A and B are shown apart, each in its own frame.
Chain A
Amino acid sequence: MDRRDLLKTMGAAAGTALVSGGLRAEQPGAEAAEPVAILVDTTKCIGCRTCEWACADAHKDAGLEFPEDVDFSVERTTSDKQWTVVNRYETEKGIIYAKKQCMHCLQPACAAACLTRAMHKTPAGPVAWNEDRCMGCRFCMVSCPFDMPKFEYHSAVPRIQKCVMCTERLAEGKNPACVENCPAGALTFGRRSELLEQARERIYAEPEKYVHQVYGEDEVGGTGWLYLASVPFGQLGFRTDLGTTPFPAYTREFLYAVPVVLTVVPPLLLAPSRASRARAAAQTEGHDEEGNA
């Protein structure tokens, strides 16, 4: 009886260990050798919003819209109809425009959060979303440090909406729509390592003009969008408190503990249960003997 219980428990433990086997915090191939990236030089941006228009135009199928008139006095966020927005900031160096969209993290929290791998890091670098897999739980939205995934709350078949770095255009060998159409030359598409070199070159060439930081180089372990600016990034609506640890790492210890708990706890529970049953059996025997005496 006891051995059978033991076997059952071990079987159950092994089963769950298999189920949870290979739990890990990072996505496989998360850091592709040479991911693509986009460099934004906010000192060149003129706030014309052509990138917003180009983005909406390139992704009409996804239901994106381009609002003709916007009020620059309020900071806008991306939405389920807009994957990118340009905001105006009053800074110590006057008015500066900054384009915001999904940052395409090297180790994305959204992809680590996704329990169906609908949100995933593509080998080339962009973070994309697979409609056929998503169950609409919105855990990616909870986890994203930049609050970029957006959800269609007014649809019976809702989608997650966010910039996908024009994966379909990249596949055709074209640049992302926003980069292609930027009239001010504020956006540059290329290999991330090359863009980082370029960003540093610009800082060194004009050390007075730029703050000596590339936003996205180290933030949350590095992102696929890199920013140059003439003022501290906090003044341009960037979160500067996110740290340099990749977000999936924050769940690593917990996920590592799972297979350990699943295999160690059942035998630890079995031991006292056997002991207490043995004790109970001894007690009844004792009673019997007393009764007989």
Chain B
Amino acid sequence: MMAASQSRRALVAAELRRFGTFMLRELKPKGSVLTPFNVISGAIMLVAAVLLTIRFARGLGAITNLSQDYPWGFWIGFDVITGVAFAGGAYVLTFMVYILGQEKYHPIVRVTVLNGFLAYVFYAGALLLDLGRPWRVINPIIGNSFGVSSVLFLVAWHFMLYMMAEFVEFSPAVAEWLGWHRVRRFLAGLTLGAVIFGITLSLLHQSGLGALYLMARDKVHPLWYSEFIPILFLMSSIFAGLSMVIFEGTITHKVFRHRVGAALHASHDDIVVGLARIAAGTMFVYLFLQLLVFVHGQRWSYLGTGLGAWYLLEMVGLVALPAALFIQGYRGRDLRVIRTAAVLTLLGIVLNRLNVSVIGFKWYAPVRYVPTWMEIEVTLAVIAAELWVFRWVVNRMPVLGTAVGLVREEPSREARAGVLAA
């Protein structure tokens, strides 16, 4: 009896020690540290750390151009509102794979969910930098002050729940990395539930970000305000997310070539072409909705103005044109055209979200808001930090490969059997 418990204790200790050395090894950077990317992004993050110290010591006004007229600026308009639209790829792809059963797209689900998860953590997390009293952020969650009549209450809750859902969706990859096969099987069993929950939450908070502006109806320029703004935000998040998947995929495949599994490598072009087709389809639906809103809102009179030209640039140059390019690229299987279309589409989304939240917001104000270099610097630092974490994860966990290309050097026989079974 004693001997058995002692040996068990020794076993646990040995296992813990093994886990410890494994974690220590994994935490170290792989590859050379002083690359140009690391130096530049590291410098950006250091500068941002200084700026944020000033911001938290002396208030938002110390480093931002936010004003009484412009309570929300670049950090909300770009980091949060645009960033969340870009992260829409995760709910769209999980819908296609787990709900519609389009197995063709399975190889990119993990990397897309990881991207979505990190985007929420970092870009929605950047919200904390913008909050005047961030230490109170738990108030609407712990329940001492539920503002249930607020659209922002809903968005905040959904951000949080969706982050959890995406983590559950990604968690099997973490379990594989750690070699926890029984845990992995349990977590994989949660995937479908998390996917369904996640899609539902996404429908609501993607549109909810648009609904934030429903009470700002007299402040947003009439070319961008309409009561259909939640639906327009939701529709555009679909092709925004897909374009981001195409764009990120292109870069990821160059940078992490050694990590790409055989399955993904073989089908990558097919996947991109398929995504281009879906993106084009949703973009035409979106354009049709925009046309309806345009007619319904009697917006002709604004077209002659400067902002009218700006609106046409967004709708024609950065939605209709890339939609046509997506079709051309899809028909001719031309990946370069598709990538161009994806980049144009992303620019169009940036423009659209900023037009609603910053450029077209209080277009009548005598003093317009323009972000300081410091606001943009901090945004770049947030992106850099996200890329660092993304790289760390991709270099260690089975993200780009399929479940079979496991990372651990010497998996036990039992583990190998478990993986193959999965």
- Chain A interface (Cβ < 8 Å from any Cβ of B): 5, 8-9, 12-13, 16, 19-20, 22-27, 77, 79-80, 109, 111-118, 132-139, 141-143, 145, 147, 150-158, 239, 241-242, 247-248, 250-251, 254-255, 258, 261-262, 265-266, 269-270, 272-273, 275-277, 279-280
Report the separation of the CA atoms of residues A254 and B212 in the bound assembly, to the nearest whole angstrom. Answer: 10
26 contacts between A and B (CB under 8 A): A20-B154, A23-B148, A23-B154, A24-B149, A113-B151, A116-B139, A117-B145, A134-B136, A135-B134, A136-B134, A138-B72, A139-B212, A141-B68, A142-B215, A142-B216, A142-B219, A143-B216, A152-B132, A153-B64, A154-B61, A158-B60, A250-B215, A251-B151, A251-B215, A265-B203, A269-B196
Partner of B71, one of A20, A135, A142: A142
Closest partner residue, chain A, to B190 (CB atom): A8
For the residues of B in contact with A, the DSSP-based class is: helix
Query: Which residues of B (197-224) have their CB < 8 Å from a CB of A?
Result: 197, 199-201, 203-204, 207-208, 211-219
B133 is an interface residue with CB less than 8 A from chain A: yes
Q: How far is the CB of A117 from chain B (nearest CB, A)?
A: 5
A13 with B154, Cβ < 8 A, contacts A20-B148, A23-B148, A113-B215 known: no
Q: How far is the CA of A16 from the CA of B164 in the complex (A)?
A: 13
The answer for the CA separation of A269 and B201 in the assembled complex, in Å, is: 13
Query: With A158-B59, A265-B203, A273-B98 given, is the CB distance from A135 to B196 under 8 Å?
Result: no
Q: Are B136 and A139 in contact (CB under 8 A)?
A: no
Interface centre among A115, A154, A262, A276 (most CB of B within 10 A): A115
B413 within 8 A of A: no
Q: In the bound complex, how far is the Cα of B414 from the Cα of A153, in angstroms?
A: 60
Residue numbers in A under 8 Å from B208 (CB-CB):
254
Partner of B67, one of A23, A136, A139, A153: A153
What 5 A-B pairs have minimum CB-CB distances, sorted nearest first? Answer: A136-B132, A276-B101, A153-B61, A138-B71, A115-B153
Residue on B nearest A130 in the bound complex, by CB? B145
> Is residue B137 within 8 Å, beta carbon to beta carbon, of the partner chain?
yes
* CB neighbours of B156 from chain A (8 A): 115
In the complex, what distance in Å separates the CA atom of A263 from the CA atom of B143? 22
**Shortest Cβ distance from residue A23 to the other chain B in the assembled complex, whole angstroms:** 5
Could you give, for residues 47-63 of chain B, a 1 whenever the CB lies within 8 Å of some chain A CB and a 0 otherwise?
00000000011111110
Whether A114 contacts B148 by the Cβ 8 Å rule is no
Q: Are A156 and B68 in contact (CB under 8 A)?
A: no
Residue of A nearest to B147 (CB): A115
Contacts of A13 in B (CB 8 A): 197, 200
Contact check, A150 vs B101: say whether CB atoms are below 8 A apart. no
Note all chain A residues with C-beta closer than 8 A to B72.
Answer: 138, 142
Report the separation of the CA atoms of residues A77 and B367 in the bound assembly, to the nearest whole angstrom. 13
Neighbouring B residues of A112 by C-beta, 8 Å: 149-150, 215
Given the known interface contacts A134-B136, A135-B131, the answer about A255 and B149 at a Cβ–Cβ threshold of 8 Å is: yes
12 further A-B pairs in the complex, CB-CB below 8 A; given A16-B201, A135-B134, A250-B217? A13-B197, A24-B149, A134-B133, A138-B72, A138-B132, A152-B132, A248-B215, A251-B151, A262-B200, A269-B99, A272-B100, A279-B101
CA distance A188 to B219 in the complex (A): 31
| Docked pose: A142 CA to B129 CA in angstroms | 18
Indicate if the CB atoms of A115 and B98 lie closer than 8 Å.
no
In the complex formed, the residue of A with least CB distance to B362 is A147
Q: How far is the CA of A19 from the CA of B140 in the complex (A)?
A: 11
Contact B216 A155 (CB under 8 A): no
Indicate whether A151 sits within 8 Å of B68 (C-beta atoms), given known contacts A12-B196, A156-B57, A158-B60. Answer: yes
A132 partner residues in chain B, CB cutoff 8 A: 136
Residue among B99, B131, B227 with max Cβ neighbours from chain A (10 Å): B99
Q: Return chain A residues, CB-CB under 8 Å to B288.
A: none
A239 to B130, CA, bound (A): 29
Inter-chain contacts of B214 with A (CB < 8 A): 250-251, 254
Q: Are B200 and A265 in contact (CB under 8 A)?
A: yes
Q: Is the CB of B59 within 8 A of A239?
A: no
Q: A135-B133, A261-B203 are in contact. Are A153 and B60 (CB under 8 A)?
A: yes
Distance A114 CA – B145 CA, assembled complex (angstroms)? 10
Contacting residues, chain B, for A273 (C-beta < 8 A): 98-101, 192, 195-196
**Is there contact, CB below 8 Å, between B149 and A158?**
no
Chain A residues whose C-beta falls within 8 Å of the C-beta of B68 in the assembled complex: 77, 79-80, 141, 147, 150-151
- A155 vs B139: C-alpha distance in the bound complex, in angstroms? 21
**A269-B152 in contact given A150-B68, A154-B58, A158-B60 (Cβ < 8 Å):** no
Q: Complex Cα distance A147/B145, Å? A: 24
**A117 CB contact (under 8 Å) in B56, B147, B204:** B147
User: A116 with B140: in contact, given A152-B59, A153-B60, A254-B230 (CB under 8 Å)?
Assistant: yes
Q: Which residues of A contact B22 (CB under 8 A)?
A: none
B161 at the binding interface (Cβ < 8 Å)? yes
A80 to B60, CA, bound (A): 14
- Distance of A28 Cα from B271 Cα, bound (Å): 51
Nearest-neighbor residue (CB-CB) of B150 within chain A: A115
Contacts of B217 in A (CB 8 A): 250
Give the CA-CA distance A275 to B323 in the complex, in Å: 31
Q: Which of A137, A248, A275 gathers most chain B CB within 10 Å?
A: A137
Nearest residue, chain A, Cβ from B136: A135
Is B103 positioned at the interface, with any CB of A under 8 Å from its CB? yes
Most buried by A among B101, B103, B134, B207: B101
Query: Cβ of A145: which chain B residues have Cβ within 8 Å of it?
Result: 215, 218
**Given A24-B149, A150-B68, A158-B132, residue A19 in contact with residue B157 (CB < 8 A):** yes
CA distance A212 to B156 in the complex (A): 45
Which residues on A sit within 8 Å (CB–CB) of B150? Answer: 112-115, 139
Interface centre among B131, B146, B147, B218 (most CB of A within 10 A): B147
A254/B207 in contact, CB under 8 A = yes
CB distance from A137 to the nearest CB of B (A): 6
A261 and B215 contact, Cβ closer than 8 Å, known pairs A5-B193, A113-B151, A272-B100: no
